[in-house]
A and B are shown apart, each in its own frame.
Chain A
């Protein structure tokens, strides 16, 4: 029986979807080893403790909450020191972070502090008696590496969307703790967080992503992408590197090896040829739809459903049909 640990990521006082994914993974790992406890760590400004019971819904038995007025924003050194203190106290078998922007920064710091290795950007894992095995897409997604972690605890960061958050309600015990480091002494400080794309759904959290490439021909044609995303109602808008390089979309929208790595339920690629660098960011999507005028485009080789033709004719029709389908529910 093994106790496992999840770091619960929050922003602006709310838990992020990746927090539930991390807790779900920790629950799976604990259950696979005979049903140990899941402990979660939640750090934020005063009031964040009110979110603890949401983590119980996904299977956390104990939630340690750390509140501090200066921890409204991410503070890498304080978060890492505090996570380290929990891990040293806990005797955990496996520890889960999100491979989100914050988690990719935090997890290696914690690993170094605890003196163990980290498997990054993991899409699947298995807890064995002597090791934890973790699957990780490497080489721009062209090679799947299975890693063997022999240290204890085994630290993993999970690719957003790779684990589906599943409710397993428990009434989590909430324990309060102090930051392990005084935020005033941190050498690195986040002084500002600016929301770029308003209240839009985030690429890492949206079940559906509608993405556009050079085939859209001009920045203003991205309204076709946005309209289709709006028709789905639960979709975020992504783009290829060519498009963000040209300034048609902000760089934070880029999906690919050098941008966001996503695993949505549905990925709709519009006017995207399917360069390796783009495929690396989205090939783990559960279902892929491609619309492109070139029937030989590489995107069609990985698309579950492809339509060949002029996207300027096809997409408005698709938007209309999706709107109808969604309206009819």
Chain B
């Protein structure tokens, strides 16, 4: 079982963000980076599938500047066999441009599965996986919360609004992984040591045409909220009055 896992390096979301002077990017000072949450689940799924198959390997891919090598080393420490950096000065917001670069790298790789997180937590768009699948002419299932793979076929579950759907697909395929399927393992000290010796190739990213750009970024308007109307059950009638007369939701 040969599996590629496409990762993204994203800022830690717990930090306080501020907008840079160009008004279309984040102020870099103080940002720390990590592997995207969903990407970690995708990597874990890939590692488990290879373990279960008893043979094969997981290859970790990440597009971006040299800082992404840290993310790739983490993937190697968790158990990926090798890593590829698709080098680009910055990662475009346009998922189709990123998908083109990934597809160019993946197309002759002979992968049984190509895994992505359901979305990157920074751009929160969820487009790169299915777009890459189209460019590779592979079947694609997105936002998978449960997965079984056997004998060249897979069965996946997707959570819908108030329902779930069961999806069957043939391999090779592109899958995007939702939360709840697996917790990403922690790298062991042994893994971290081994990662230093594993191959990490760097190749220029062949980004596609960009037709979606960031016009501006802003912090969300402070909600006019922050209004505590009272304490305890005695405040309930006032709340109901406000909901009726001011918010007009009753």
Question: Residues on A close to B: CB < 8 A?
Answer: 11, 73-74, 76-77, 100-102, 104-105, 107-109, 111-113, 115-121, 133, 136-151, 187-197, 200, 202-205, 207-208, 251-252, 257-260, 265-266, 276-277, 283, 286-289, 295, 300-310, 313-314, 317-318, 321-322, 325-326
B149 interfacial by beta-carbon distance below 8 Å: no
Contact A189 B168 (CB under 8 A): yes
- Interfacial chain B residues near A191, Cβ < 8 Å: 166-168
B235 interfacial by beta-carbon distance below 8 Å: yes
Interface size on B, residues (CB 8 A): 83
Interface centre among B94, B125, B142, B167 (most CB of A within 10 A): B125
Task: Give Cα distance in the complex from A197 to B38, angstroms.
Answer: 25
CB distance from B48 to the nearest CB of A (A): 19
Contact A112 B134 (CB under 8 A): yes
A321 is contacted by which of B96, B131, B173, B237 (Cβ under 8 Å)?
A: B237
Question: Residues on B close to A: CB < 8 A?
Answer: 11, 13-14, 17, 19, 26, 37-38, 93-97, 99, 121-127, 129-131, 133-135, 139-143, 145, 158-170, 173, 178-180, 210-220, 223-233, 235-237, 239-240, 242-244, 247, 249-250
Contact B13 A139 (CB under 8 A): yes
22 contacts between A and B (CB under 8 A): A104-B126, A108-B130, A113-B134, A117-B210, A118-B96, A118-B125, A139-B13, A139-B121, A144-B217, A151-B212, A187-B170, A252-B160, A257-B13, A258-B178, A276-B14, A287-B247, A300-B226, A301-B225, A306-B226, A308-B228, A308-B232, A314-B233
The prevalent SS among residues of A at the interface is mixed
Contact A193 B164 (CB under 8 A): yes
Task: Give Cα distance in the complex from A326 to B244, angstroms.
Answer: 10
CB distance from B158 to the nearest CB of A (A): 7
Contact B122 A138 (CB under 8 A): yes
Contact B165 A138 (CB under 8 A): no
In the complex with contacts A111-B96, A150-B211, A295-B228, A305-B242 CB distance below 8 A = yes
Q: Which residue of B lies closest to A140 (CB)?
A: B13
The 7 closest A-B pairs by CB, nearest first: A112-B134, A117-B212, A151-B211, A187-B139, A120-B125, A309-B232, A192-B166
In the complex with contacts A101-B158, A266-B243, A112-B233 CB distance below 8 A = no
- Interfacial chain A residues near B141, Cβ < 8 Å: 76, 188
Task: Give Cα distance in the complex from A158 to B13, angstroms.
Answer: 23
Task: Give Cα distance in the complex from A194 to B139, angstroms.
Answer: 23
Interface centre among A76, A108, A109 (most CB of B within 10 A): A108
Contact A104 B143 (CB under 8 A): yes
- Interfacial chain A residues near B124, Cβ < 8 Å: 120-121, 136-140, 257
In the complex with contacts A188-B167, A252-B162, A301-B225, A322-B231 CB distance below 8 A = no
CB distance from A75 to the nearest CB of B (A): 10
CB distance from B75 to the nearest CB of A (A): 20
In the complex with contacts A193-B160, A194-B163, A266-B247 CB distance below 8 A = yes
CB distance from B199 to the nearest CB of A (A): 31
- Interfacial chain B residues near A187, Cβ < 8 Å: 139, 169-170, 173
